[in-house]
A and B are shown apart, each in its own frame.
Chain A
Amino acid sequence: MSAAQAADNYSVLKPAGVQAATILTLWHITLGVCSIVFAGVLAALLFAVHRSRRGVRDNHAAEGKAAAMQARPATRRWVAGASIASALALTGLVVIDFMTDRALSRLPVADALHIEMTGSQWWWEARYPGRDGQPGFAVSNDLHIPVGRPVVVTLQAADVIHTFWVPNLHGKKDMLPGRPTTIEFRADEAGTYRGQCAEFCGVQHAFMAFGVTAETPEQFDQWQAHQAAPAANPSDDTATRGRDVFLASSCAGCHTVRGTSATGNLGPDLTHFASRPTIAAGTVPNERSVLMQWVRDPQSLKTGTTMPPAALPESDLQAVVHYLASLK
């Protein structure tokens, strides 16, 4: 197993933004200092072992004590020297830590994109503001941001504590019920990065992931305009039937599809559901057969999820899935 095989879009060591890069620099410096200290301690230990393996073995405490007393002034100098060196190294690290914190908190955010993100058991909702007369909109588990423009994400929790974390872009920030927090970062390289909840938030904490796609400002504008638009009308009969079943059944009680009468807000907004790469916060890929299983029996894919199984006849189920898959 080597680092090369690892997922590069989800790694502390592969920064794609200025904040993560700043932290990685600190990491390299700290790792260097720590390696020197470790090597020093190990060398001293090996020296002690080597010395006594060669030296005379005697079991007399009195003689050991006498020999120790003789070596005392030199020993004292060494111990004092090592202590002073450690103090200097630690002071140096503290200074560099402070400088890093300062650099992180000074990201210019004048023209920042503001996103409001809410963590729930076990998915994410991101609200984008309206722009140029377009309304604001909500997406789930799939963020898009423009490259080179700072982003300020306001973090909230709907139930328990979650933690927002995209290692390629920045460190973590908690989402605390009753205490909104913010995190500021900027993507400098285009790409799709993985994010994941980092605070244990219940049984499916493992499957609470999201994606962040950093793209050119033009692509981002396009995406934003598309997401702001209401859902497309069904283009064929099956989709129309699917929409009707969706609206008539319990689905609409929890989910919103803008442009229809479905305005539930307990589950993800599905207006552009088919544009998202995964289902259930990174649990499974957004494919037709998987979606079928997800709607029919969510527990089989994500035990403990709050989404109830849809008690629908097979043909209705097919139609609903067909409709959902058409919500590009």
Chain B
Amino acid sequence: MTEAASVSRERLYDGPDAGAATHSALAQTWSDPPGWRGWFAAINHKTIAGRFIAATFLFFVLGGLLALAMRWQLASPRTRAVGPDMYAQLFTMHGTTMMFLFAVPVMQAVATYLVPLMIGARSVAFPRMNAFAFWIFVMGGAFLFIGFVAGAGPNTGWFSYVPLASADYAPGKGVDIWAQMITFTELAGLLEAIVLITTILKMRAPGMSLSRMPLFVWATLVTQCMVLFAMPSVMLGSTSLILDRLVGTHFYNPARGGDVLLWQHLFWFFGHPEVYLIFIPPLGFISTIIATFARRPVFGYTAMVLSLIAIAFLAFGLWVHHMFATNLPEIGKAFFTAASLAIALPSGVQIFCWLATLITGRLQFRTPLLFVLAFFFILVLGGLSGVMLGSVSLDLQVHDTYFVVAHLHYVLLGGAVFPLFGAFFYWFPKFRGRMLSERLGRWQFWLFFVGFNVTFFPMHWLGLQGMPRRVWTYPEGMGWDGMNLLSTVGAFAIAASVLLFIVNVARSWRHGAIAGADPWHAGTLEWTIASPPPPHNFDAMPVVQGREPAWGARPRRAVSGLAADAREVLTTSVRDADPLTRSLFPSPSLWPFISALATTALFVASVFTPWAVVWGAVPVALAVIAWFWPGRAETEQALALETKP
């Protein structure tokens, strides 16, 4: 008997019949190292996603505080609680934070937590890259806020239109930092998109063909494909902006043959799909939550999936409706009107399918479902005001007024934040193993729902009465005072509801009722494992036989044969999820963190000197080489696993 053979005989393999020894071996294999090193070397998708979610939530709270300061300033006319420049920084930071540091990344963060659990995988694909993306994101967000606190806050709006954002009209470092923050977050976003697409296409449990994929996973797949096409556009735009500002190019300078509208095209070619990057993942939350609390699968699975894909395509054909007031040809604008209204159709189909599900199901009114029901009220209102904004002539009146502020908050809070809170309530038991308080949840819900409508509904009316966006104050006698005061009161109610949520999480973190594996009796795979999930997620890779595996026939089937002492995963085919290979995944490493530090040094320094792009590339290259340097132990392990008979 050779040495290799004895090793392979001692080796533990997973499988449905494997015992406690296999479980603890798997748990040990997939754990992040302990101590401070583990803090920086962690690559487990649940660890990274947990931090990612916490970071985005922190940015959400910061962005919310900025909004409170704005509402405080606007509560009455001609107030000077903050000056005009500070106000410009406030709304720039608020929009930038909410869009770039909260809404898009939080959806990716939640997806990197849930997708592997929902598709029966032990990890995301490229776990080190996932960790790198997280660090890049955090450092980019910190860079923006450090700049803001240090007095170099951007003040040209989250859209940074040129020439206002050019060096002539926005001197100082604020806009440079803003543009570089885009580079950070879009880099992180693109990497996460690659991670998620690969995970979904190649790591689904055997049997989970595309037509059996949970709708949330579909929503994530569609969204991340959109990220690949949308984000390069804004990176190109912001890089050209920073070149104009720092190197003296003239991409946007009409005096030297540049064009101010080029920026708007690049920005909105990203900016409009971005709304759907924020809005499509919550469609997945809603489908999941409705199915669970209506006790039935979502009606019209195929229609739902096709609608998601249709929305994704149409979303790239709408960007000009942000530019109806420019001098683009009328016939071209008409095309974008048609596209803007057309996108309401797949959204409508989804809503009708959900309503059908709710009507034919048996509803259980738990907190997650309340947030989803509120979605119908708020998002439908936001969608309908969107239909108004899609019309060229109506848009010419309400464009850039508080009507748009109302519309976008109805869409983004109704379409993303309400479902997101529903999702927190729904998945917190899986994440932490404890339930959130239903009582506090209901209080939070009603405060949020009422506060939201009190804050934003009056803004429709303010817009029709001519109140422009982004004004730091307004004259008396315009008839805007009462509605603005009401809106401010509502904003504080929203703040109170978010505070209740934080209290709820803090209390339930240690003292919540024990959840058990499946508190909601839900249908997807994540509820078939313990809460919180063990480091390796699944003791045995499940075999999927239907769209709701946890509601399906028992006993559930599983595959066996992955080594318990190595980070082995099963890759499957794209369409039918047939098992293809056993693939060995990398182990925790400090190099993703160090590479992120080096990349941050490059990005930050290039705001001060363009030469940083040259010398800053050297540490990045070294760190990345070290990251991919093949280790002796890992190579030997891989060989040992391969030579097994």
| A, B bound | yes
Which residues on the A side are within 8 Å of B342 (C-beta)?
90
Interface string of B155-173 (1 = CB under 8 A from A): 1110001011000110000
**A223 beta carbon closer than 8 Å to chain B:** no
Residue of A nearest to B483 (CB): A1
Provide the bound-state CA to CA distance between A198 and B352, in Å.
37
A196 CA / B466 CA spacing, docked (Å): 8
> Which label, helix, strand, loop or mixed, suits the secondary structure of the B interface?
helix
Which residues 340-399 of B have a CB within 8 angstroms of A?
A: 341-342, 344-345, 348-349, 351-353, 355-364, 373, 376-377, 380-381, 384-385, 387-388, 391-399
Contact A200 B161 (CB under 8 A): yes
Q: B161 is contacted by which of A22, A161, A173, A204 (Cβ under 8 Å)?
A: A161
Asked whether, in the complex, the Cβ of A26 is within 8 Å of the Cβ of B391, the reply is: yes
**Considering the chains assembled together, what is the distance between the CA atoms of A5 and B469 in angstroms?**
21
Q: Whole-angstrom distance between the alpha carbons of A83 and B232 in the complex?
A: 34
**For the complex, is B254 an interface residue (Cβ under 8 Å from A)?**
yes
A110 at the interface (CB under 8 A from B): no
* Chain B window 522-555, contacts with chain A (Cβ cutoff 8 Å), 1 for yes, 0 for no: 0100000000000000000000000010010000
Q: Which residue of B lies closest to A83 (CB)?
A: B349
The reply to whether A159 and B163 form a contact with Cβ atoms under 8 Å apart is yes
Interface code A25-48, partner B: CB below 8 Å = 1, 0 otherwise?
011001100100110011011011
- Interface segment among B13-21, B127-135, B295-303: the answer is B295-303
Asked if B470 and A205 sit within 8 Å, CB to CB, the answer is yes
Q: Does A83 lie within 8 Å of B388, measured CB to CB?
A: no
Which one, B60-68, B325-333, B579-587, is touching chain A?
B325-333
CB of B296 within 8 A of CB of A67, answer yes
Task: Please judge, given known A-B contacts A45-B358, A55-B362, A83-B349, whether A161 and B163 are in contact too, CB under 8 Å.
Answer: yes
Beta-carbon contact of A178 and B394 below 8 Å: no
Q: Is B561 an interface residue (CB 8 A)?
A: no
In the complex, which of the residues A11, A59, A165, A177 contacts B254, with contact meaning CB atoms closer than 8 Å?
A177
Complex Cα gap A203–B83 (Å): 9
Contact A11 B464 (CB under 8 A): yes
B261 an interface residue at 8 Å Cβ cutoff? yes
Could you tell me if A200 and B164 are in contact, using CB atoms closer than 8 angstroms? yes
Tell me which residues across on chain A come within 8 A of B373, comparing CB atoms.
45, 49
Contact A38:B334 (CB < 8 A) given known A23-B394, A68-B360, A93-B387: no
Other-chain contact of B330, A31, A101, A180 (Cβ < 8 Å): A101
Whether, in the assembled complex, A255 has its beta carbon less than 8 Å from a beta carbon of chain B, the answer is no
Q: B445-472 vs A: 1/0 string, CB under 8 Å?
A: 0000000000000000101111011111
If A177-B254, A178-B255, A206-B471 touch, does A71 touch B400 (CB 8 Å cutoff)?
no
Which residues of B sit under 8 angstroms from A65, Cβ to Cβ? 295-297, 551
Q: Are B296 and A59 closer than 8 Å at their CB atoms? A: no
What mask results when residues 187 to 208 of chain A are scored 1 for a CB within 8 Å of chain B, else 0?
0000000101111111111100
Whether A171 lies near B396 (C-beta < 8 A) is yes
B307-335: CB near A (< 8 Å → 1, else 0) gives 00000000000000000011100100110
- Give Cα A172 to B468, complex, Å: 12
Stretch of B188-196, B436-444, B473-481 contacting A (4+ beta carbons < 8 Å)? B473-481
Question: With A64-B296, A98-B334, A200-B164 in contact, is A51–B359 under 8 Å at CB?
Answer: yes
Judge whether B151 is part of the interface by a CB distance below 8 angstroms: no
Interface residues of A in 1-32 (CB under 8 A from B): 1, 3, 5-7, 10-13, 20, 22-23, 26-27, 30-31
**Contact (A204, B84) CB under 8 Å given A34-B387, A79-B356:** yes
B7 interface residue (CB < 8 Å to A): no
Say whether B260 faces chain A, with CB atoms less than 8 Å apart. Answer: yes
**Which of A10, A67, A83, A304 makes the CB contact (< 8 A) with B360?**
A67
Which bucket holds chain A's interface residue count?
Answer: 35 or more
Whether B642 is near chain A, meaning CB under 8 Å from some CB there, is no
Residues of chain B lying within 8 A (CB to CB) of residue A303: 83-85
The chain B residue with its CB closest to the CB of A41 is B380
Instruction: Say if the beta carbon of B5 comes within 8 Å of chain A.
Output: no
Is B294 an interface position by the 8 A CB rule? yes
Tell me if B163 and A160 are in contact (CB < 8 A). Answer: yes
Q: Closest residue to A197 on the B side, CB-wise?
A: B468
Query: How many angstroms from the CA of A48 to the CA of B472 in the assembled complex?
Result: 44
Q: Does A316 contact B (CB under 8 A)?
A: no
A173 to chain B, nearest CB (A): 6
Q: Does A112 contact B (CB under 8 A)?
A: no
List of B residues within 8 angstroms of A78 by Cβ: 352, 356
Q: Across the interface, do A64 and B294 meet the contact criterion of CB distance under 8 Å?
A: yes
Interchain CB contact under 8 A, A83 and B393: no
Q: Is the CB–CB distance between B468 and A282 below 8 Å?
A: no
Q: Are A97 and B297 in contact (CB under 8 A)?
A: no
> In the complex, how many angstroms separate the beta carbon of A321 from the nearest chain B beta carbon?
23
When the two chains form the complex, which single residue of A57, A76, A163, A179 contacts B400, counting CB atoms closer than 8 Å? A163
Give, as a whole number of angstroms, the nearest-CB distance from A113 to chain B: 21
Is B337 in the interface zone, CB < 8 Å from A? yes
Are the CB atoms of B478 and A198 closer together than 8 Å? no
Give A51 to B303 CA distance when docked, in angstroms: 25
A275 CA / B286 CA spacing, docked (Å): 61
Question: CB distance A68 to B299 under 8 Å?
Answer: yes
List of B residues within 8 angstroms of A58 by Cβ: 295, 362
In the bound complex, how far is the Cα of B392 from the Cα of A240, in angstroms? 53
B418 to A: closest C-beta gap in Å: 14
CA distance A64 to B349 in the complex (A): 22
Q: List A residues 200-231 near B (Cβ within 8 Å).
A: 200-206
Q: Which residues of A contact B465 (CB under 8 A)?
A: 3, 6-7, 10-13
Fill in one digit per residue for A136-173: 1 if any B CB lies within 8 Å of its CB, else 0: 00000000000000000000000111010101001111
CB of B84 within 8 A of CB of A41, answer: no
Q: Is the CB of B551 within 8 A of A62?
A: yes
Q: From known contacts A34-B388, A172-B396, A203-B472, infer whether A161 and B84 are also in contact, taking CB-CB under 8 Å.
A: no
A254 within 8 A of B: no
Q: Which residues of B contact A76 (CB under 8 A)?
A: 300
What is the chain B residue whose CB lies nearest that of A98?
A: B334
CB distance from A199 to the nearest CB of B (A): 6
Residues of A close to B303: CB separation below 8 A: 79
11 A-B pairs, CB-CB below 8 angstroms?
A: A11-B464, A13-B464, A26-B394, A59-B521, A79-B300, A161-B163, A171-B399, A179-B254, A199-B325, A203-B155, A206-B468
Known contacts A6-B465, A7-B479, A203-B87, then 20 further A-B pairs from the complex at CB < 8 Å, ordered by chain A residue: A11-B464, A23-B397, A26-B391, A30-B394, A45-B358, A61-B295, A64-B362, A68-B357, A79-B299, A83-B345, A101-B333, A104-B393, A161-B164, A161-B260, A172-B399, A174-B326, A176-B261, A179-B327, A194-B466, A206-B471
Top 7 closest A-B pairs, CB basis?
A171-B396, A178-B254, A1-B482, A6-B479, A64-B295, A206-B471, A52-B363
Query: CB within 8 Å of B: which residues of A?
Result: 1, 3, 5-7, 10-13, 20, 22-23, 26-27, 30-31, 34, 37-38, 41-42, 44-45, 47-49, 51-53, 55-65, 67-68, 71, 75-76, 78-79, 82-83, 86-87, 90, 93-94, 97-98, 100-101, 104-105, 121, 159-161, 163, 165, 167, 170-174, 176-181, 194, 196-206, 282, 303-304
